[in-house]
Structure 1
Amino acid sequence: MEMSQSILKNADLKSTKKRCLLLSILQTEDRAMTAEELLEKATPILPMNASTVYRTLNTLTEKGVLSKSLRKDGKSYFSLEKHDHHHRLVCTVCRKVIPVDSCPLKELEEDLEAKTGFRITGHTLEFSGICPECRKSNGL
């Protein structure tokens, strides 16, 4: 949890047990998770209710510690903000996430910076679809 405390300090946030635990779970899982998934993993370790989890996740997102994405399943997913870029394929059936190593967006990033004046510090690109295993097992 020492890394979690450092992240919170850098964001000018008080280091609480609940914040540290949620960050620790996201670090350990190394994937985007819903508030419900985080609550399920956290509660056996440190009891908390759903409103606490939501409030904490929103605070961490507002401070730039987490990134929040809304997926096609209608749920919000939270992940550690790495201030870099990452790309992934997400299976809509089994939820498997496959990282994509190459980045075809460098030129687009530079063009956007030139046109808007933004200094882009990271981006996320996510494709959703059905993985080969799910296609095979479901006849798709």
Structure 2
Amino acid sequence: MIADKIRAAFDETSQRRTRPRRLIAERLIELAASGADFTVDDLWQELRQEEPRLGRATVYRSVEMLVNMNLLDRIEFADGTHHYRVCGGSHHHHLTCTRCHRVVEVDACLPADQFSAIARKTDFSIEGHSLTLFGRCSECREH
């Protein structure tokens, strides 16, 4: 369950169970349940209403920790901005609307032999990848 994984991630990386860390974890669990995406600033502003002294850096570090642990996905948009989303860990990529920023998870990737060919051609050892897809959703195409 993603809620347990998020709580465990905070326990593994934090010596103390502080109120700000608990608030961040619980809000991320709520966002995971709703499937909503967010920015660090949105999350920070929302949490500051409950914990006025909460620093932006604390929220940013927490989000980055969860991205590095593959519990949060960073979703890139065509305009260079990005949001975050709790996706749950299975391998997938995102398709984003260039107009309304709607996000759809897609189960598409390059075949493994293409990664092998790229590695041989470039003399790199590929450790990971991200595939970013952009387009216009059906609603935005109608306008």
Which region of structure 1 is more displaced relative to structure 2, 124-133 or 97-106? 97-106
Equivalent residue for 1:109, pick from 88, 100, 115: 115
Partner SS state of residue 130, structure 2: strand
CA contact (8 A) 2:77 2:98 kept: no
What is the total number of aligned residue pairs between the two structures?
132
Aligned residue number for residue 53 of structure 1:
59
Cα separation, 2, equivalents of 1:100 and 1:65: 17
Residue identity in the other structure for 1:111: A
Equivalent residue for 2:139, pick from 133, 136, 140: 133
Q: 1:70 to 1:63 in 2, by over 3 A?
A: same
Aligned residue number for residue 25 of structure 2:
20
Q: How does 1:1-140 map to 2 (within 5 A)?
A: 1-9=3-11, 12-14=12-14, 15=17, 16-30=21-35, 32-43=37-48, 46-47=50-51, 48-61=54-67, 65-80=71-86, 84-112=90-118, 115-120=123-128, 123-137=129-143
Cα separation, 2, equivalents of 1:101 and 1:31: 19
Name the Cα RMSD after superposition. Answer: 3.3
CA contact (8 A) 2:24 2:47 kept: no
TM-score, normalisation: structure 1: 0.65
Identity of aligned residues (%): 23
**Alpha-carbon distance, 1:127 to partner:** 0.9
Cα separation, 1, equivalents of 2:37 and 2:45: 14
CA contact (8 A) 2:96 2:104 kept: yes
Cα separation, 1, equivalents of 2:117 and 2:29: 36
TM-score, normalisation: structure 2: 0.64
Cα separation, 2, equivalents of 1:81 and 1:100: 12
Cα separation, 2, equivalents of 1:131 and 1:108: 29
Q: 1:71 to 1:39 in 2, by over 3 A?
A: same
**Which residues of structure 1 form unaligned runs of 5+?**
none
Residue identity in the other structure for 1:56: S
